[in-house]
Amino acid sequence: MRYLSLVLLFFVISVEAKSAKTDHAEISIVGNTNIISEPGVIQLGYKFVFTPGWHTYWINPGDSGGPPIFEFDSPSGWDIKENVWPGPQKIIYPPLMTFGYVNEVVFPFELNLKNLKDQTTEITTKFLVCDDICVPEEATLLLSLKNGILNIDEESQELNKWLNRVPIRAPPEMILSSSQNNFTLEYAALDSESYFFPFDDSVMDYSNEQIFSNNKLTFEVFDDLNKGLNGVVNIGQNFYAVAEIPSAISAEMNTGISLLTAIIFAFLGGLILNLMPCVLPVIALKGLSLVKSSAESNSSVTQNASAYVVGVIATFMTIAAILVSLKNAGEMIGWGYQLQSPFIVTILSTLIFGIGIYLVTDSSIGGSLGKLERHTDGSGPFNSFLTGTLAVIVASPCTAPFMGAALGFALIQPDIFSYLVFLFLAIGFALPYFLIALFPSLVNFLPKPGKWMESLKQFFGFMMFAAAIWLLWVLANQVDANSILFVLIGWFSLAFASWLVITKIKFASFISAVIALIWGTQLIEWDFKNVEVMNDSKSIAWSVKKEKELRMNEQPYFINFTAAWCITCKVNEAVAFSDDVFNKFNEENITYLKADWTNRNSEIAEEIEKYNRSGIPLYVYWDKTLDEPMVLNEILTENYLLEVVDEN
């Protein structure tokens, strides 16, 4: 009997750990499955089931109420993300209008498991539950992982139902505009049941009617609204996040970066991109190959240079089309976005390592660059086109000055403006060879061919090795040691295959192809296990919650949005973040936050987008004298940072 009592007691404790009951609600944690076989991101949700007819509130409750609060500490090896807010419904209590959820709701959130060690943590929720009266209630849940089992309820259908109500990015065709204190939302799919829910409270009289007519939804805001309006609009079962910047702010933004400024910045950024270590060897050797072409005729130079320019522009516009498509699908994207994928970093690093091998090995591997650029049928322009494509691909890990602001502008604009900015980025990148295509005689200003070209070619090969090692370091910040070993085996295999070809061993090409096929097949199937990014001792990991706490306590802070793959970020950190700067931060009691975007992180991506940027570096400073955080220059110096602190 005693053992039976212990079993029953254990069962009761397990049930209590999975759910909690208050006077008017039952709260539990739900997910797709409770069996966890490997580390990674797990989609979960806080499920509330209320007494029939009772409700709780959205992030903006409307005329009364307040949103639920979730308090927790992530144990070692866990990263519990902030919850997201499904689209609400109108809850009318004349003359009041409130926004929330009646009878039930699931607030989705993510749990990032870095390992499968047994862990337990408490999550406390404080919430208002209302009918004719409102009652504040509180409950504590235990979330635990034991022997690979997560103590959650498996309710995949319920979780996905509420995930589908989480607002997504509005399509470009949905336009929110204003005239004085009247706002108009225009979109073909709007109907009479559509409603705009503002994120911020105290921006409008919620009891006022929102008028639908001719695919337009019109509503009024308070006369003293002097900031951007953003919120959620529901259309049928779908919810879209929309935003509008009032004319005063728009004018201020236009003085900072208008379309014309973005085009100029893109052009300059593309031009500077030619000097990046990954790119310089490719374009320099292309220039030397044009010197050789000039011996044939000026028309040969024009054809090859033009083909290179077309290759560059075509590749940039292809990238633009991919990014715009992802943007329209609701993805948080930007320049450098691809380097958050260990798979892409592996391919790029191996490609650059292979280019390095080609450049430093004996010419018998394929001859001089001139031979490389001659297709089997003698079609030079075709291979010049491919060289342009290759130059853009190896440039993708780099961000030049001016590029961040330009691309940030491009990826929040209508599609046509996005393509226009990318076009000028491509033109800037291709400018040197565009000029050579127009004026072939410019080739005469380049050094004459000679033996020195072979030495230069080999020197550039070592530059490519350095770039490959840097990308390997980036990968080491993302994945475990086994994955790094796998990549190094790929590099070894590539070097071995090159040696087979150089020494002209029988069936060298066949053996090399087999090696490439085996490693490539393993690469496709390889499980890159992410590792936790560690902050240095001088910084605190950024989070929305931490930033809000600092703002509420009027504590000044500096945010460094960075990543291991961002060269400009690392240069700034080496040059500008000196001991004097950190001493100044300590004197002024400024909290130094680091938002590391090395791995994909939707919270950081959303925050970057708030500042009208699509990539990094991004630096933000705030103190109580500022209404909104200040966005700093992309290129930092020690004096500039000290001046920012002194002047605020």
Q: Tell me: the pLDDT tens digits for 110-124?
A: 998 988 999 999 999
Q: What average pLDDT does range 301-320 have in this prediction?
A: 88
Tell me the β-bridge partners of 92. 97
Does the 540-646 domain belong in CATH 3.40.30.10? Answer: yes
Q: Provide the phi-psi class of 382: left if phi over 0, else alpha when psi is between -120 and 50, else beta.
A: alpha
pLDDT band at 329 (very low <50, low <70, confident <90, very high): low
Which of 47-51, 215-219, 289-293 shows the lowest per-residue confidence on average (mean pLDDT)?
289-293
540-646 matches 168-253 in CATH topology? no
Q: Is the pLDDT of residue 283 over 80?
A: no
pLDDT band at 52 (very low <50, low <70, confident <90, very high): very high
Q: How many CB atoms lie within 10 A of CB 297?
A: 11
Residue 333: its pLDDT value, please? 63
Domain ranges, ordered by start, for the chain: 17-163, 168-253, 257-352+364-450, 480-527, 540-646
For helices 280-293 and 452-476, give the axis angle rounded to 10 degrees: 160
Residue 12: its pLDDT value, please? 36
pLDDT band at 362 (very low <50, low <70, confident <90, very high): low
The Cα 440–Cα 299 span in angstroms is 8
pLDDT band at 128 (very low <50, low <70, confident <90, very high): very high
| Segment holding 468, helix H or strand E | helix 452-476
Structural class in CATH, domain 17-163: mainly beta
Q: Is the pLDDT of residue 386 over 80?
A: yes
Which of 93-97, 332-336, 361-365, 580-584 shows the lowest per-residue confidence on average (mean pLDDT)?
361-365
pLDDT band at 70 (very low <50, low <70, confident <90, very high): very high
Cα angle 542, 544, 546 (rounded to 5 degrees) comes to: 60
pTM of the model: 0.54
pLDDT band at 166 (very low <50, low <70, confident <90, very high): very high
Cα angle 365, 347, 38 (rounded to 5 degrees) comes to: 145
Q: Which is nearest to 518 in space by CA: 550, 493, 499, 496?
A: 493
pLDDT band at 533 (very low <50, low <70, confident <90, very high): low
Higher pLDDT, 117 or 445: 117
Residue with tokens 């992530």: 74
Q: Is the pLDDT of residue 14 over 70?
A: no
Summarised one tens digit per residue, pLDDT across range 520-530 is 888 888 888 76
pLDDT band at 440 (very low <50, low <70, confident <90, very high): confident
Look up the CATH architecture of domain 168-253: Sandwich (2.60)
Which of 211-225, 363-377, 380-394 shows the lowest per-residue confidence on average (mean pLDDT)?
363-377
